[in-house]
Amino acid sequence: MKTLLRSRLVLSATVLACFGGVVYACKDFLDTPAQATLDDNALATKGGVEGSLIAAYRSLDCNNATNGNWGCAASNWPFGSITSDDAYKGSEASDQPQATKLELYAWASDQAQDYLDRKWASVYEGVVRANSTIRLLEKVSQLKPGEISHADSMSIRGEALFLRAHYHFEAWRMWGNIPYYYETDTDFRKANDLGADSVAKLIIADLNAAIALLPPTPRNGQVGRATSWAARGYKGRVLVYRHQYAAAVATLDSVVASGVYALETSFDRVWTGFHAFANGKETILAYEASVNDGEPNGNNSNYGERLNLPHSGSPFKCCGFHQPSQNLANFYAVDGATGLPKAFTSPTTWNNRDSVWVASRADTVDPRMDWTIGRDSVPYKDWGMHDTTWIRAKSYGGRYSPKKNAQEKASGAVSKVGWQPEQENGVHIHIFRYADMLLLLAEAKVETADLAGAQTIVNQIRTRAGVAAQGCGAGSTNAALVARYPACAGDDRIAVPINDPKIGWATYRVSPYTAPWPDQATARNAVRIERRLELGMEGQRLFDLRRYGSAVAQQVMNDYLTAEATPLRRSYKTAQLPYATPLNDYYPIPTVEIDLSKVGGQNKLNQNPGW
């Protein structure tokens, strides 16, 4: 199937987005004479509409309009990951102190505001581009009837509405009470006076409209485009966030029954640079990263993740950010007798271990540990063994590296241009994938007392997790690997069965829950554990904790801080502020956006409580 391509068309299309209105932080794209000729009339063609729509997709990650820091990352790693118990900012203290302020909950500081404003600008940039597409589509339909077929017109509008809903959802779960923008808006200094729940209803309304307009399969056969099933799945996601569990079950059950999506056959095919596995049946919405496509600086790659690879001693050369926490590493420990997570079987002791997760057959762990976390003397996909030289500052960020967003060497998904091209790759960034959706469905089933249905889903996820583990990866090329593990000689398999005899760095086990969950509390705990195991380091964690309730988020994060702020872990976290409710239930709206919203000396945007 064809892919929705990232190309030079996108670079030209980025200038389309701000025509017809500007949200507070929208930048001026018309910085060359050639681009300045692209006015509404010049773009009033089918090609102009399609280019505008591609530009709306392009806002899923950092782009020429929003680059500046990594608050625009598609994965939300600064907001959903390093602010949770999943990860540290990593790197070293002096690099990107703005992200450190986020991690330490100093969200009102100027440095944290820098990242927060970049996120605000990024999501509303996407809203502007989606609305610009709708306006341009209507103009072409009026001026040139028949140039765009009825079917294409419906789908284009549906895709734009889907994207508008997504960008507003991103803003909503960050800030709650936000302004909602339509293609008919002309005054962009709009008040956030709807209330958070009313905003959620508007997101659902846009998704309902998209469901009615979109085809069931990607338009033009181009995977990556939104479909009616993607919109339906996303609607179910929003319903779970709203705690409308019965409606969520009905919606998500219909997506499951459609058979459109499925789990990948093995976990290694979920996050991958191999083109053959990209956009598999698990993908609902992803940022379609692209390299070596004609863009001269590699900016269509995984730009928002480019910091998040091992540092100078590694093949990636930079930059050592977004390092997995000791807490997350401990979470992958498995009870050897049952094959279940120690977080489930030993809830008071699972997090007792300090930083010693290196290669050892004596450790029984979930195989997802070594698809998620790079740790010493364990193969890192097919790049050889991870070791301490890959860590930028072990005393600061710990000894682990992120792994999901790294490309495989054999995939060739690395940029050949740009600054430090080794850290730019074509690994698609999952924004919403089927396993995520299934676990939201399991969550909703627990809350509607269908414990057996939730357990079936969790066991489905666990069964897939048990298919494959990290293999030798580079047994024919890496002498250090073979010296440590002679059985790996000549074996370049990245993924192997979890009991493969050549595995010398762990004992892998992941078993289903065989005994029925006896009550709702047990079921709820098991689903939440599985969600973290499956989605670790994917930028979901803090948003999950908040959705579970303020009391849960406060308890988890304050327990985490008690364990982490120790000399054996990360002593700098003694400076971290505790999670406080309602203060930390939403991020503060960037001060600069409030200042820019003034009309007649009065702010149209109101700050969240406590900030």
**Structure confidence by residue, pLDDT tens digits, 420-458:** 899 999 999 999 999 999 999 999 999 999 999 999 999
Q: Is residue 155 a contact partner of residue 214, using CB atoms and an 8 Å limit? A: yes
- From CA 375, how far away is CA 390, in angstroms rounded? 10
Please compute the mean of the pLDDT values over residues 551-565 and round it to a whole number: 97
The amino acid at residue 608 is N
56 vs 124: CA distance, rounded Å: 11
Neighbours of 46 (CB within 10 A): 16
Strand, coil or helix: what is 89?
A: strand
Taking residues 42-58, report their average pLDDT.
Answer: 94
Specify whether the CB–CB gap between 475 and 274 falls below 8 A.
no
| pLDDT, position 28 | 29
8 A C-beta contact, residue 120 and residue 106: no
Residue 23 has pLDDT above 80, yes or no: no
> Is residue 31 over pLDDT 70?
no
The 3-state DSSP class for residue 285 equals strand
Q: Does residue 14 surpass a pLDDT of 70?
A: no
3-state secondary structure of 602: strand
Higher-scoring residue by pLDDT: 471, 188: 471
Dihedral over Cα of 102, 108, 111, 116: its sign: positive
Q: What is the pLDDT of residue 38?
A: 60
Q: Is 184 exposed, middle or buried (0-12, 13-18, 19+ CB in 10 A)?
A: exposed
pLDDT tens-place string over residues 500-551: 999 999 999 999 999 999 999 999 999 999 999 999 999 999 999 999 999 9
Tell whether the model's pLDDT for residue 19 goes beyond 60: no
What pairs with residue 90 in β-bridges?
A: 321
**What is the set of domains in the chain, with CATH numbers?**
2-226 (1.25.40.390)
Task: Please say if the pLDDT value at position 362 is more than 80.
Answer: yes
Question: Predicted confidence band at 80 (pLDDT cuts at 50, 70, 90)?
Answer: very high
Question: What CA–CA distances, in Å, run from 440 to 149, 172, 267, 546?
Answer: 37, 18, 19, 14
Give the C-alpha separation, 152 to 550, whole Å. 44
Exposed/middle/buried for residue 565 (C-beta within 10 Å: 0-12, 13-18, 19+) = middle
**558-581 mean pLDDT:** 96
Cα distances (Å, whole numbers) of residue 464 to 177, 435, 446, 447, 472 = 38, 10, 21, 24, 20
pLDDT above 90 for 195: yes
* pLDDT band at residue 17 using 50, 70 and 90 as cut-offs: very low
- pLDDT exceeds 50 at position 24: no
Give yes or no for residue 419 having a pLDDT over 90.
Answer: no
The pLDDT of residue 188 is 87
Report the pLDDT value the prediction gives residue 531, as an integer from 0 to 100: 98
pLDDT at residue 16 is higher than 60: no
pLDDT-wise least confident of 7-16, 153-162, 498-507:
7-16
The confidence band for 12, taking pLDDT boundaries of 50, 70 and 90, is: very low
| Residue 384 confidence class, pLDDT cut points 50, 70, 90 | very high
Q: What is the pLDDT of residue 266?
A: 98
Q: How confident is the model at residue 48 (pLDDT cuts 50, 70, 90)?
A: very high
Can you tell me the distance from the alpha carbon of 565 to that of 562, in angstroms, rounded to the nearest whole number? 6
pLDDT at residue 20, rounded to an integer:
36
Q: Please, which residues have CB within 8 angstroms of residue 270's CB and are 6 or more apart in sequence?
A: 264, 280, 282, 404, 430, 433, 435
According to DSSP, the β-strands at 364-365 and 222-223 are: unpaired
**Per-residue pLDDT reduced to its tens digit, 573-590:** 999 999 999 999 999 999
pLDDT at 431: 98
70 secondary structure, DSSP code: G
Q: Which one, of 572, 579, 560, lies nearest residue 351 by Cα?
A: 560
Overall average pLDDT of the 590-609 stretch: 96
Q: How confident is the model at residue 412 (pLDDT cuts 50, 70, 90)?
A: very high
Q: In the chain, what is the greatest distance between 2 CA atoms, to the nearest angstrom? A: 74
Report pLDDT digits (tens) over 275-311. Answer: 999 999 999 999 999 999 999 999 999 999 999 999 9
- Amino acid 29: pLDDT: 24
Q: How does pLDDT run across 328-346, given as a tens digit for each residue?
A: 999 999 999 999 999 999 9
21 — pLDDT class (breaks 50, 70, 90): very low
Decide: 126 and 163 in contact? Cβ < 8 Å. yes
pTM for the predicted model, two decimal places: 0.94
Mean pLDDT of the chain: 93
Percent of all residues in the chain with a pLDDT value above 90, rounded to a whole number = 91
